[in-house]
Amino acid sequence: MKKFIYILSISLLLFFTFNTVTTVAQPKMYSQGFYNMKDLNLSENVSYKVQNNQPYVEGILIIIDADKKIQQLIRIPANATQIPLAPLKYDYRFIIYNNVLLTFS
């Protein structure tokens, strides 16, 4: 009886450890439009990076504060690697111009 319990417990342990599935969340891509921090799921006072995922299209990212002053204006080349952004505040608005697909990380 003890052998059966040992074999059963070892087989269950192996069964549950080998059946793990790793999942990776796909990053959200944002196209042309007007966004705020909540729309982009960004946190305040964090340095983010933006990346253009379009191979042949350049874009512009404009970041505006609550007083409607431009805080950052970034020209993003086609297939750009990650471009760093300054730390963001909660009341910032974003304008993505041109038919680009931007990813924030």
Domain ranges of the chain: 27-104
The pLDDT value recorded for residue 24 is 62
For residue 70, the number of C-alpha atoms closer than 13 Å in the C-beta half-sphere is 7
pLDDT given at position 93: 94
Query: What are the DSSP calls for 1-55, one per residue?
Result: -HHHHHHHHHHHHHHHHHT-----PPPP-B-SEEEEHHHHT--TT---EEEE--S
Total Cβ atoms within 10 A of residue 30 = 17
Does this model's pTM top 0.85?
A: no
Kindly report the CATH number that applies to the domain delimited by 27-104: 2.60.290
Mean pLDDT of 7-32: 74
Residue 44 has pLDDT above 80, yes or no: yes
Cβ atoms 10, 16 nearer than 8 A: no
Q: pLDDT for 74-104, tens place per residue?
A: 999 988 888 999 999 989 999 999 888 888 8
Residue 94 is predicted with a pLDDT of 95
* 49-52 and 59-64 strand pairing: unpaired
